A and B are shown apart, each in its own frame.
Chain A
Amino acid sequence: MANKLALIASKGTLDWAYPPFILATAAASMGWETGVFFTFYGLPLLKKDLKATVSPAGNPAMPMKMPFGPEGFQNINWPIPNLITNNIPGFENVATSLMKQTFKNKGVASIEELREAAVDMDVKLIACQMTMDVFGFKKEEFIDEANVAGAAAFLEFASDANVSLFV
């Protein structure tokens, strides 16, 4: 029997947006039936206008890398104190653009590209109705491929999945 993957994407920052989309596209590439339930902070990953950012605040192990200059320079892990990362206005924007550029330089696909690939390969993208109600999101804000449903619908999909992961 073919394998089947059921994922829950519960986090919406740029760094945590990657695991569900990478796993979903890899699984779909292997012919697995794949579905992702986007809930809580993961739900905005289905918005037409993707705005995922990353913050060093709360991510004490996050390496801070510069996406330019010679390789040795790029590999330096900059020890930026919490006092700066947490208190300088706009530091989150800086960290986000540095991470996006580093990913791009290394050949990592953008979240937009991975999401497009997932749609192409018929990955089932399920938007959590309850989260929509709580945060006031409208169906029109999401990509057309998003299917709005609740916990029971996802669990039914996941009930015969032989791989299920919570991200």
Chain B
Amino acid sequence: MSELKIVKKLDTSGMLCPMPVVKTAKAIKEMQVGEIIEMISTDAGSMPDMKAWANQTKHELLESHDEGKSFRFLIKKTH
């Protein structure tokens, strides 16, 4: 069992499109390769948006959880 070391937490609760993606992109820029960020969102569109964002940026979407009223993502910076 590998443990995930989260180095940064980003809460975008209350923000709508495109801010969760914009804030995530900004946050990941300030991280080192291999580090993991946890992003929380209440934007109902963030599940497909974060998948698309990870596909496009090639950062690794390790986990995405639908927690009812909010969504939780773990992303690893790959480059």
Residues of A within 8 A of B (CB): 3, 22, 25-26, 28-32, 106-109, 114, 117, 120-121
Contact = CB atoms under 8 A, between A and B. Distances in A.
Interface of B: 14-19, 21-22, 24-26, 42-43, 49, 52-53, 56-57
Contacts of A107: 14-16, 19, 42-43
B21 A26 contact: yes
Nearest to B26: A120
**Interface-central residue, A3, A30, A32, A109, by most chain B CB under 10 Å:** A30
A25 B56 contact: no
A30 B26 CA distance: 10
A102 to B, nearest CB: 12
A30 B57 CA distance: 5
Given A28-B25, A107-B16, 20 more contacts: A3-B56, A22-B17, A26-B18, A26-B21, A29-B22, A29-B26, A29-B53, A30-B21, A30-B52, A30-B53, A30-B57, A31-B56, A32-B56, A106-B16, A107-B14, A107-B43, A109-B15, A109-B16, A114-B18, A117-B26
Contacts of A25: 18, 22
10 closest A-B pairs by beta carbon, nearest first, are A29-B25, A30-B56, A26-B18, A107-B14, A107-B16, A29-B21, A107-B15, A29-B22, A108-B16, A22-B18
A123 to B, nearest CB: 11
A117 B22 contact: yes
Contact of B19 (A3, A28, A31, A109): A109
Nearest to A22: B18
B16 A29 contact: no
Nearest to B52: A30
Contact of A29 (B14, B24, B42, B43): B24
Contacts of B57: 30-31
Contacts of A108: 16
Nearest to A29: B25
